Structure 1
Amino acid sequence: MTKKYDVIVIGAGPGGLTAALYASRANLSVLILDRGLYGGQMNNTDAIDNYPGFSEVKGPELGEKMYNSTMKFGAEFEYGDVQSVTLEGNEKIVKTDTAEYSTQALIIATGADHRHLNVPGEEEYSGKGVSYCAVCDAAFFKNEDIAVIGGGDSAIEEGIYLAQSAKSVTVIHRRDQLRAQPTLQKRAFANDKIHFIWNGITESIDGDGNRVTGVTYRDKVSGEEKKLATHGVFIYVGVIPQTAPFKDLGVTDENGWIPTDEHMRTKVAGIFALGDVRAKDLRQIANAVGDGSIAGQEAYNYLQSLND
């Protein structure tokens, strides 16, 4: 049996929870679907110190608080791995691995995952020195020697950001020249705190069991294995939008991101997108929450327009 809701939110990170909060406060029936625990990537963050209202808060704790404040207005939460979304007139049919749902207003908040190196130590030391977000974690490495892995725009932008508070930043790049835009390269090369290791293939991220102690890399030219001592490793080798179930809807661009207007509306009426899944630059809890409030309200406005 297909269960019908006024609004379905796919993704229970900070943006998705906020969208559900605003929609359910408008007396709409709301279902939140997620294949994992509510809170999204906040559950993988030990300490958050850049979300207004908290000098510092544990990621899972903030996720719990957001979830509780959302659910008090009647939203429902169910586990489900979304397999596909199809259109039948104004109805959006959402199929998960276990059930089928229908809605006229769909909000996509599935986020994006950082591409991983898949080397020994990366998962073990995630949150213990391994990071994918300088804006989130730079403050924890003040006056320390930091490594940045990557050579594109994100790696160099974040390296420049880290250099403001770090003792030094060493960029390890697998090629002999950067892929970042020339203006970023110029700024990085002019910064005395930023150093470069060229043709370096990261082999492992090393630690003492409690925190990162260094990076082992191989010189692609000589074949020699070398080590860099550091307590912080920031990895920027790409970000992957989690949009596979929506590829046939016509809402994604050529790279899988979902473009929206300022009202979080996609190309398809009644489908909204927010947070890290959107084609944008800054991906933080604060602006995901902002996106969510807009999407929740716009879903209400859309449903009202169907009745006019």
Structure 2
Amino acid sequence: MLDAALKTQLAAYLQNLRQPIELVATLGDGSSAAEMRALLEDVAAASDKVGVRFDGADDRAPSFAIERAAGDAGVRFAGLPLGHEFTSLVLALLHVGGHPPKIDADVVAQIKALEGRFHFETYFSQSCQNCPDVVQALNTMSALNPNITHVAIDGALFKDEVEARQVMAVPTVLLNGEPFAQGRMTIEQVLSKLDTGAAARAAEKLKDKDPFEVLVIGGGPAGAASAIYAARKGIRTGLAAERFGGQVLDTMAIENFISVSHTEGPKLAAGLEQHVKDYDVDIMNLQVASRLIPAKAEGGLIEVQLENGVSLKSRTVILATGARWRQMGVPGENDYRNKGVAYCPHCDGPLFKGKRVAVVGGGNSGVEAAIDLAGIVAHVTLIEYDSQLRADAVLQRKLASLPNVRIVTSALTTEVRGDGQKVTGLVYKDRNSDEVHNLDLEGVFVQIGLVPNTEWLKDTVALSPRGEIETDHRGATSVPGVFAGGDATTTPYKQIVIAMGEGSKAALSAFDYLIRLPAEVTEQAGA
């Protein structure tokens, strides 16, 4: 099942097992069962601390549990944990086997202190880059607390179950049989939903923060680069982010990051976070900024208010809040979000196997999505508002060669239709003739660009008509001491490598601003 290189890597990882574990499988029939048997035999052969049995009696087949001798670890996979989930399998083996997870000690204590019974079910797809974070978080919690159990379910393998539970997006998490969450979540975010006092305790810790010299808002490529460049100057640096990694976490293949021929978003995001942690940066994750209050005088303290009511202060601020997927803004879109309306073809595409879908958007993202989906679904209709596609010529040629793709240009999407539970169709108007068309389909993938995360900055810093932060050639905004970089700004070409450069420039400009402040101004401002 595993090639020689993976077997060698697996054997090396499993040397970290501290206690014996056993894989207990319920196989059933079919090719997936045979593949699971081969996979589990390969895993057992990689370490003498791993045993395997094929006499399980789980309701789902094929599936397997990872158990300690004491039987107090509730980690199970229903389906094959391959693709993006192979790492989840390796980590689950290690954590159930006693190897400590790489999370903060206070997070471990918080997990162990949870009371009650928590049975989680996560639906994933092997091509989903968002799913491993959720699967790994819940597996880790299950390995640490005997009151928590988790089963990760391959939605493509258990189609009847997916249909019955109306799962139309991954990752989808159920807790004790009821909907719990959808989309990427870190272990801290899961805990914040379970432990109602966690947010208050986190806010309390932030209250006593001393003022920073540079405070970065945002944890994507621009924010990470800003924090690294500021910290390297030896000045007190803080970074507050809603989720470290930002939009990169939702990116599948990255093939234009110079010197790295291929990587994936979550891998790059993990590298960014580790690089920032190599320096003395105060990282404040899961924090959402709500208001920016300029300094009262030159060199004074700028205030950033957070949604939890806490205020952070700094002599300079770097805005690197990035962007999010743009929505169509038509009737039915919000009603059927994650019920047929999707924004990540790599994550949710496998759930639409054999079905009819539409892709809205004819740029590179839209055409790439249509190409990917064409290999999974029955039929793709690509809808573009303009009179022609805007994607690169090489992508357009590939799209035109696919037999199950229809391209519609000069089309305005006006409505997403549904039956109250899921998407059943899409309505668009021909912009040339005003004729209205109804498409019967099961999925709509929206790929129409990005919206900057700057709503909280209105009436504070100058924004463009599109809501982007206006910056000069040094990354300075209209507010003294406030700089910006990345996809939230007017800088053209929203690319990772450009965001990193702009973030670095903003940090250097902030440092230059600080060292040019008159000494007496700095002293007065700090008084």
TM over 0.5: yes
d(CA) in 2 for partners of 1:123, 1:234: 6
Q: Which residue of 2 aligns with 1:92?
A: 302
Indicate the SS of the match to 1:76: strand
Does residue 1:16 correspond to 2:223, yes or no?
yes
Gaps in structure 1 of 5+ consecutive residues: 170-192, 206-214
Measured in 2, the distance between the counterparts of 1:140 and 1:197 equals 17
> Does residue 127 in structure 1 map to residue 346 in structure 2?
yes
**How far apart are 1:247 and its partner, in Å?**
1.6
Secondary structure, in 3 states, of the residue corresponding to 1:255? coil
- Matched ranges for 1:35-50 at <5 A: 35-36=242-243, 38-50=244-256
Q: Which residue of 1 aligns with 2:289?
A: 82
Looking at structure 2, the residues matched to 17 and 136 of structure 1 have their Cα atoms a distance apart, in angstroms, of 28
Q: Is the aligned partner of 1:167 residue 2:167?
A: no
2-structure distance, mates of 1:251, 1:244: 12
- Cα distance 1:53–1:150, how it changes in 2: closer, same or farther (>3 A)? same
Q: Do residues 103 (structure 1) and 337 (structure 2) align?
A: no
Can you list the C-alpha shifts for 1:232-282, whole angstroms capped at 9, x where unaligned? 95621x632211222232332343211111111111221111111112431
Q: CA deviation at 1:224?
A: 5.2
Unaligned 5+ residue runs, structure 2? 1-207, 350-358, 419-423, 520-527
CA RMSD in angstroms, aligned pairs only = 3.7
Structure 2 vs 1, CA of residues 122 and 161 (structure 1 numbering), >3 Å: closer, same or farther? farther
Q: Is the 2:302–2:313 Cα contact (8 Å) retained in structure 1?
A: yes
1:151 aligned partner: 385
2:247–2:323 Cα contact (<8 Å) kept: no
Read off the aligned partner of 1:111 and give its amino acid letter: G
| Pair 3,83 (structure 1): closer, same or farther in 2 beyond 3 Å | farther
Give the aligned partner of residue 249 of structure 1.
Answer: 460
Tell me the TM-score normalised to structure 2 length: 0.45
**Aligned to 1:101, what secondary structure does the other structure show?**
strand
* Identical amino acids, percent of aligned pairs: 24
How far did residue 287 of structure 1 move?
A: 0.6
Deviation readout 1:144-176 (Å, 9 max, x if unpaired) = 6975444259x843376742543269xxxxxxx
Q: What residue is the counterpart of 2:188 in the other structure?
A: none
The Cα shift of 1:226 comes to: 2.3
Match of 1:225 in 2: 438
State the distance in 2 between where 1:270 and 1:28 align: 15
CA distance in 2, matches of 1:3, 1:63: 28
Instruction: Report the 3-state secondary structure (helix = DSSP H, G, I; strand = E; otherwise coil) of the residue aligned with 1:275.
Output: coil
User: Residue 343 of structure 2 contacts residue 446 of structure 2 at CA under 8 Å; is this kept in 1?
Assistant: no
Deviation for aligned residue 1:74 = 0.8
Kept after mapping to 2: 8 A contact 1:149/1:233: no
Q: 1:260 to 1:165 in 2, by over 3 A?
A: farther
For 2:366 and 2:427, locate their aligned partners in 1 and report how far apart those are by CA, in whole Å.
29
Partner of 2:213: 6
Letter in 2 for 1:49: E
Q: Superposition pairs for residues 277-292 of structure 1, below 5 Å? A: 277-292=488-503
Q: Distance in 2 between matches of 1:46 and 1:60?
A: 8
Normalising by structure 1, we get a TM-score of: 0.74
The question of whether the paired residues in 2 share the 8 Å contact of 1:241 and 1:277 is answered with yes
How many matched pairs?
A: 273
- The alignment partner of 1:31 has SS state of strand
* Bigger RCO of structures 1 and 2 (CA < 8 A, at least 6 apart): 1
In 1: Cα distance, 2:307 partner to 2:518 partner: 32
Aligned-partner Cα distance in 2 for 1:62–1:253: 30
Tell me the residue number matched to 1:27.
234
Contact 2:384/2:411 (<8 A) preserved: no
CA contact (8 A) 2:462 2:478 kept: yes
8 Å contact from structure 1 (residues 159, 194) kept in 2: no
CA distance in 2, matches of 1:160, 1:147: 19
Q: Distance in 1 between matches of 2:441 and 2:392?
A: 16
- Residue 263 of structure 1: SS of its match in structure 2? coil
Q: CA deviation at 1:26?
A: 0.7
Alpha-carbon distance between aligned partners in 2 of 1:304 and 1:61, rounded to the nearest angstrom: 36
Which residue is 1:208 aligned to? none
